[in-house]
Amino acid sequence: MSDNVKEITSVNFETEVLKSDTPVLVDFWAEWCGPCRAIGPVVDEIANDYNGKVSVGKLNVDNENQLAMQYGVRSIPALLVFNNGAVVNQIVGAVPKNRITDILNTVISS
């Protein structure tokens, strides 16, 4: 996992995600999910590419079931983009990097 990726838990969710100064990409994932493993390295790359502009976190749904339920995650990998405390976009499934960066670029420029 890249140093620029934070582990998100119910303890730090409010400070790291809801109250973040920058947009936040949260990767809802689990060990047993094949497509999550496929997209993991891409999320790491994005964390490095967007360092300072977008914070990137990973949320393990096995440990943080409540948060997954709260945000209506019913399929993983699910990438939720938060801005100013609210979900502004989400992507379900392993998608190519440019699908994710397109969305992040729109969020940054808005």
Residue 52 makes contact with other proteins by CB under 8 A: no
Task: Give the contact letters, 5-24, x = binds to other proteins (CB under 8 A), - = no.
Answer: --------------------
69-74 contact pairs (CB < 8 A, 24+): 71/28, 73/28
**What is the residue whose two structure tokens read 């994710």?**
100
Residue 35 makes contact with other proteins by CB under 8 A: yes
Q: Any residues with CB less than 8 A from the CB of 29 and at least 6 apart, and which?
A: 36, 39, 40, 58, 59, 60, 61, 76, 77
Q: How far is the CB of 50 from other proteins (least distance, A)?
A: 17
Identify which range of 7-15, 17-25, 36-44, 50-58 contacts other proteins by CB under 8 A. Answer: 36-44
Bridge partners of 90, per DSSP, are 80
Residues labelled as active-site residues? 33, 36
Site of interaction with other proteins (CB under 8 A): 30, 32-35, 37-38, 41-42, 61, 68, 72-76, 78, 92-98
